[in-house]
A and B are shown apart, each in its own frame.
Chain A
Amino acid sequence: ISSTLSSDMTIMDSSYIGVRDEHPEIDAEIRAILLANAQNGITISSIKNEYRQLTGTAFPVHDNITDFLLTIPHVTAECCESGKRIFNIKPTEETRHLHDMILQQRQRESRNNYN
């Protein structure tokens, strides 16, 4: 059973190899999107939307997006009481200074506001 499981995992992970070949910076890009939204977390549809706005390309994964996001180191997911799935990020040594500021900054009232 365990060998079946691990081979399933291998197949699943390898299905993202093509995505990472074509978008070598995608892990860092998604972590950056999550970090910018670390105060409240962010849903899949908003991640896709911000990815398009910030990189100019459509989000390259279409199925099993949660599985894909959870192959990215430091990414977290939680299910809210409302049933919404919210993604967030754990800071690394390199991004802790930004993470601290973002968590403690003024609460954002609305999305996509400027300055």
Chain B
Amino acid sequence: GVVGGACSDVQQTIYEVNKFNKRSKLMEILREGADGTIVFVETKRAADFLASFFSETEFPTTSIHGDRLQSQREQALRDFKNGTMKVLIATSVASRGLDIKNVKHVINYDMPSNIDDYVHRIGRTGRVGNSGRATSFFDPDQDRAIAGDLIKILEGSGQEVPDFLKEMGGG
């Protein structure tokens, strides 16, 4: 792809989801196929809450965040890579510097606050000629500021821009 842009071989989907509907939306998406999914969330607590909830109710899920020791992060990543854990929930700070590539599906449960992080996150999927998938939950109460930049990235990589986003990013 273009340097600094998002790869066009990543299928990017943006849903308008409010804060408290995110968990059921995530559940719905993961039930269609959870293997090799990394989910980005904003807080440590949300990472552990979701990992516990999903492990109990749906599928083995692990988590990575800033309170974890380096050895724990590496172990969680190994469990994810070898398939023991189908889903990895991560805060974005904790995932920086970790070798997480060729992920089947990246889900932005919480949108990053800037577009560079968005591009970086979705760059973890769709490597080496494989098509990847990136799904993002856009919360209008929270994420308006990134709408304009997000539209540019979507258009630049040949993706459909959803109507709700066009209306928001128009100004």
Number of interface residues of B (CB under 8 A): 34
A105/B53 contact (C-beta < 8 A), A56-B19, A98-B62 known: no
Interface residues of B in 41-94 (CB under 8 A from A): 42-46, 48-53, 55-57, 60, 62-63, 65-69, 72, 75-76, 79, 85, 91-94
Main secondary structure of the interface of B (DSSP, over half): helix
> Which of A29, A31, A56, A98 is B20 in contact with, Cβ under 8 Å?
A56
Determine the chain B residues whose CB is within 8 A of the CB of A97 once the complex forms. 55, 60, 62, 79, 85
Interface string of A31-64 (1 = CB under 8 A from B): 1110110000000000000100011110000000
- B60 touching A32, Cβ below 8 Å: no
With A36-B48, A106-B69 given, name 16 new contacts (CB 8 A): A28-B53, A29-B53, A35-B48, A36-B49, A54-B49, A56-B19, A56-B20, A94-B55, A98-B52, A98-B55, A101-B63, A104-B72, A105-B67, A105-B72, A114-B66, A115-B44
Chain B residues with a Cβ under 8 A of chain A: 19-20, 23, 42-46, 48-53, 55-57, 60, 62-63, 65-69, 72, 75-76, 79, 85, 91-94
